[in-house]
Amino acid sequence: MTQPLIELATFGAGCFWGTEATFSRLTGVVKTSVGYMGGHFENPCYLDVLSRITGHAEVAQVEYDPQQISYETLLENFWQCHDPTSLNRQGADRGEQYRSVIFYHTPEQRAIAQRSKAELEQSGRYDQAIVTPIEPASTYWLASEDHQQYFEKRASQKAVSN
């Protein structure tokens, strides 16, 4: 039996815990992780990024099987899980680390993301401009283990303590 071809997608949509939770539930998503991308600081930790000295965004990296879920479907979920008109903030979280951003891994992803963004802008769904940049993926710095699958871990801890 042949292994499925797995592709990467990387999205920043505010706090990475919620972004990861959004994608981890989708059929065709093989694995998710959280980390940092788009900055200028080597091997940042959570406190470095939180202090706003690194230029990184909190991101969810998604490994997916394109035969089960399309990049277009991932983008639909991305647009729905946050406010792409909010510059450097989502809800109560403020700072460039919480920016809305799509990091593309291939020229095809770039074209699909640009088309998706243009369609959303033309849809009239938002009264304000979409501020989400579409940038080439750069070095992905994995966040520490305590940040991975954060909501899932907290739910299981609560279940054990009850």
Instruction: Give yes or no: 15 in active site.
Output: yes
In angstroms, how far is the first alpha carbon of the chain from the final one? 43
Q: Is the Cβ–Cβ distance between 19 and 43 less than 8 Å?
A: no
Q: Is the Cβ–Cβ distance between 16 and 98 less than 8 Å?
A: no
Instruction: State the catalytic residue, choosing from 15, 59, 74, 137.
Output: 15
Give 88's strand partners. Answer: none
Q: 102 vs 4, 38, 135, 145, 150, CA distance in Å?
A: 24, 10, 6, 23, 22
Tokens of 106: 């291939």
Active site residues per annotation: 15
